[in-house]
């Protein structure tokens, strides 16, 4: 599995994308109060928060902790007409094509010092603008495929071509209503048929409601946030509420100071930690863990990965010579306090080639090459 899965952060200009991205990566992407200050997509690699690693390091007295990481891409602000080349339209769309999932930042706060590209605050309109542009781009892609398939009907596998045309027609009906392709119910076989189209609105998505500092801890009174939740629920998407301004302040603090700051704000964790975790899940990723005196490490795999392929994440030789995986769940290991104690209670299992890895499996692979 590629380790460079990416979440693209998108939104209209001046909704707080770059401020948020800077906080995520402390990478210093320029965050100026005018459209298109982010022209080349900035890429930031972030650590996935995982409290289990510190606990394992205590048990194994490990010298080093290596967390899982993921990549965020800050993409230039989109404007109405992007699908026809307005603003940085074509560039924006090509950058979205390259990411694996989309996090759409929507502004839910008023501030007369920060101009709104549409002149007023209306988060649902902002979402619609972006969706419409992505749907228009996808309709264009679909039309090219329609034209090609219709030519192929004369001499190709008629049944297979008609099945694909039927699927494209179902997607087209939604796109023409400015609804994303991910709302189409399709079988795994149908999903394979259109995978190479790389439709923008088929990518998994979540929404980031960017609120004011005052609402960072409690946004329940903000009608815009509620409206976004209702909208997102229609496609089973998650909504993460953050204050990009608060997150950028937290990013400047030490770990200890950040904990105190969050307590003062009445927050259990930062919005960014929530966003990173949700994005990780959105990409269909999870982690298994390895632990020893030298290091404790989280390894990133896709859900439903079998044990030998997980072993291959560590080294191709381990996958090639895979014999068994010795596994104990993180919960069982920490409850027992040591691997030996878990073994005595019969909680350490030996799993074979067909075993599907579970999130938090503490694993030792046996192999022979």
Position 317 pLDDT exceeds 70: yes
Q: Scanning the structure block, which residue is given the tokens 């046996």?
A: 366
Position 83 pLDDT exceeds 80: no
Structure tokens that stand for 190 in this block: 């149908």
Asked which of 4-8, 30-34, 133-137 is least confident by mean pLDDT, the reply is 30-34
Spell out a b/e string for 69-91, using b for 16 or more CB atoms within 10 Å of the CB, else e.
ebbbbbbbbbbbebbeeebbbeb
Across all residues in the chain, what is the average pLDDT?
A: 87
Of the ranges 6-10, 59-63, 162-166, the best mean pLDDT one: 59-63
Tens of pLDDT, residue by residue over 154-181, are: 776 788 888 899 999 999 999 999 899 9
Tens of pLDDT, residue by residue over 262-310, are: 999 888 889 999 999 999 999 999 999 999 999 999 999 999 999 999 9
> What are the start-end ranges of the E strands in the chain?
6-10, 42-47, 64-66, 69-74, 101-107, 205-210, 239-242, 285-291, 295-302, 322-329, 349-351, 361-367
Q: Which pLDDT value is given to residue 19?
A: 87
pTM score of the predicted model = 0.83
Position 2 pLDDT exceeds 80: no
SS3 content of the chain, % helix, strand, coil (to 5): 45, 20, 35
Q: Which residues contact 348 (CB under 8 A, 6 or more apart)?
A: 326, 327, 328, 339, 342
Q: Which pLDDT value is given to residue 95?
A: 82
Report the distance separating Cα 262 and Cα 249, nearest Å.
Answer: 11
- CB 326, CB 348: distance < 8 Å: yes
What is the DSSP secondary structure assignment for residue 184, as one 8-state letter? S
Position 354 pLDDT exceeds 50: yes
The pLDDT-based confidence of 32 (bands split at 50, 70, 90) is very low
Q: Scanning the structure block, which residue is given the tokens 């890429």?
A: 43
Position 61 pLDDT exceeds 60: yes
Q: How far is CA 55 from CA 50, 60, 274, in A?
A: 10, 9, 20
């Amino acid at each position: 599995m590629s380790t460079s899965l990416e979440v693209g952060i998108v939104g209209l200009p001046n909704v707080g994308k770059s401020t948020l991205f800077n906080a995520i990566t402390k990478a210093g992407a320029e965050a100026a109060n005018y459209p298109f200050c982010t022209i080349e997509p900035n890429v930031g690699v972030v650590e996935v928060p995982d409290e289990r690693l510190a606990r394992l390091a205590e048990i194994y007295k490990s010298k080093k902790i290596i967390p899982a990481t993921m990549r965020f891409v800050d993409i230039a602000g989109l404007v109405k007409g992007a699908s026809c080349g307005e603003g940085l339209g074509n560039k924006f769309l090509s950058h979205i094509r390259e990411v694996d999932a989309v996090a759409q930042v929507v502004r839910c706060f008023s501030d007369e010092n920060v101009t709104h590209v549409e002149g007023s605050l209306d988060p649902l309109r902002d979402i619609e603008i972006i969706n419409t542009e992505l749907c228009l781009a996808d309709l264009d892609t679909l039309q090219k495929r329609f034209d090609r398939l219709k030519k192929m009907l004369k001499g190709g596998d008629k049944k297979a071509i008609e099945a694909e045309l039927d699927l494209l027609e179902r997607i087209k009906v939604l796109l023409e209503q400015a609804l994303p392709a991910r709302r189409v119910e399709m079988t795994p076989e149908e999903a394979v048929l259109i995978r190479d189209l790389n439709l923008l609105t088929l990518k998994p998505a979540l929404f980031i409601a960017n609120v004011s500092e005052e609402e960072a801890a409690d946004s329940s009174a903000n009608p815009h946030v509620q409206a976004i939740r209702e909208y997102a629920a229609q496609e089973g998407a998650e909504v993460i509420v953050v204050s990009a301004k608060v997150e950028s302040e937290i990013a400047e603090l030490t770990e200890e100071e950040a904990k105190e700051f969050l307590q003062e704000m009445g927050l259990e964790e930062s919005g960014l930690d929530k966003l990173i975790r949700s994005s990780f899940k959105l990409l269909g990723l999870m982690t298994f863990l390895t632990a020893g005196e030298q290091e404790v490490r989280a390894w990133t795999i896709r859900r439903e990965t079998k044990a030998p392929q997980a072993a291959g994440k560590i080294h191709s030789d381990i996958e090639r010579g895979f014999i068994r995986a010795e596994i104990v769940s993180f919960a069982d290991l920490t409850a027992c306090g040591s691997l030996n104690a878990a073994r005595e209670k019969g909680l350490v299992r030996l799993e074979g080639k067909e075993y599907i890895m579970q999130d938090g499996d503490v694993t030792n692979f046996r192999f022979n090459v």
